[in-house]
Amino acid sequence: MKFKYLLAVLASALISSSLLQAQASPDTTTIEGYLAAHQIEAETIEDGFYYQIDAVGRGNVPQTGDYVMVRYVGKLLDGTVFDRSEPGDPFVFQMGYRQVIRAWEKGITFFPVGSKGQLFVPPHLGYGQSGVGRTIPPNSPLIFELEVMRIMDFEAYDRYMEELERKEREAFIAAQNQQFADDKKMIHEYAAANRLKTKRLPSGMSYAIKKKGKGSLPQEGDKMTVEYEGFLLDGTPFDSSKGKSFSFELGKGKVIPGWDEGLRYFRKGSSGWLLIPSKMAYGPRSIEEEGISIPANAVLIFKIKVKNIEAD
């Protein structure tokens, strides 16, 4: 009897322990469970949709038609970040024109300018049954950490975009100039390491004649027939005529600019090297086609043999 009594007491204790554990461990796959687990006292907008304002701003509240500037981080309930605004590049959208998910349209109206907080978004106000590729699974509740930075009318938005475009253009030009300087340095170092006696052209590209040819220099429109091998700076080959001849009209844009410029210094029968900065090749584009692999902003090295030149 005592044994049966002890078993009953033990079973009762295990059941009580399981119930307490279940009560202490909310289902964190739901918004309500997540809020309970993290002891977050959020306000509800509608069934399943909550928000919390951590710092209340003193500005106006966004209205339909306003252009709203925000910083944000988008997360799944497990903490996985699936999207965020870039530092120094906040996100701007127009309220009421379906440029964002419905939860933003509803929730941001509770955030005066300057406010920081979170939206806890049920699937039907986020990305629903479809999700977003591998980033957001179907039927996923979402969390958005938000800061409402500014409200703009159309005129202010237009001025903001003009200023943004100006800054982006300046940043692009600065990046191009830096890339060009880096390319020239790498070409100089490559030539020195390979003992190539090169001549640099104003465009930044260099060439080296190994074997002098005969006849006149080619002119624009002349048909040049060459054999070639192409290499990256580390010696990786990316293309070759494979001992066969390749023909093109010089100066007609049928080849990369580095060829059109550099081969003007190669006579019939000559051979040598073209050392081409990225802006005279494929620039920021990467090339992946037909067995050719060239990274973005790559300096290209070509070993060239001029087989024939036919005057236009």
**Cα(158)–Cα(161) distance, integer angstroms:** 5
Over range 121-135, report the average pLDDT. Answer: 93
Tell me: pLDDT of 14 over 60: no
pLDDT of residue 289: 87
**Cα(189)–Cα(173) distance, integer angstroms:** 24
Q: Are 282 and 199 in contact (CB under 8 A)?
A: no
- The lowest-confidence range among 10-19, 41-50, 104-113, 120-129 is 10-19
What is the DSSP-derived secondary structure letter of residue 62? Answer: P
Is residue 59 classed as helix, strand or coil in its secondary structure? coil
Over range 40-65, report the average pLDDT. Answer: 93
Mean of pLDDT over the chain: 90
Query: DSSP states of 144-206 as a string?
Result: EEEEEEEEE-HHHHHHHHHHHHHHHHHHHHHHHHHHHHHHHHHHHHHHHHTT---EE-TTS-E
Over range 19-43, report the average pLDDT. Answer: 76
Is residue 163 classed as helix, strand or coil in its secondary structure? helix
pLDDT of residue 247: 96
Percentage of the residues of the chain whose pLDDT score is greater than 90: 85
> Which uninterrupted H or E stretch holds 121?
strand 116-121
Same fold, 24-157 and 179-310: yes
- Residue ranges of the domains in the chain? 24-157, 179-310
> What is the fold of 179-310?
Chitinase A; domain 3 (3.10.50)
pLDDT of residue 21: 45
Q: How confident is the model at residue 25 (pLDDT cuts 50, 70, 90)?
A: low
Tell me: pLDDT of 216 over 60: yes
- Domain at 24-157: CATH code: 3.10.50.40
Q: Are 187 and 206 in contact (CB under 8 A)?
A: yes
Tell me: pLDDT of 153 over 70: yes
What are the pLDDT digits (tens) for 161-183?
999 999 999 999 999 999 999 99
Give burial (CB, 10 Å; 0-12/13-18/19+) of 17: exposed
Q: Are 136 and 160 in contact (CB under 8 A)?
A: no
pLDDT of residue 238: 95
What are the pLDDT digits (tens) for 61-88?
999 999 999 999 999 999 999 999 998 8
Please list, in sequence order, all residues whose beta carbon lies within 8 angstroms of the beta carbon of residue 266, skipping any fewer than 6 positions away: 207, 209, 213, 217, 218, 272, 304, 306
Tell me: pLDDT of 6 over 80: no
Tokens of 103: 């939860």
* Residue 247 backbone dihedrals phi, psi, to 5 degrees: -120, 145
What are the pLDDT digits (tens) for 239-274?
999 889 999 999 999 999 999 999 999 999 999 999
Q: How confident is the model at residue 297 (pLDDT cuts 50, 70, 90)?
A: very high
pLDDT of residue 19: 40
Query: DSSP states of 202-220 as a string?
Result: TTS-EEEEEE--BSPPP-T
> Which uninterrupted H or E stretch holds 307?
strand 300-310
pLDDT of residue 290: 79
CA distances from 280 to 36, 204, 263, 310 (A): 60, 9, 13, 25
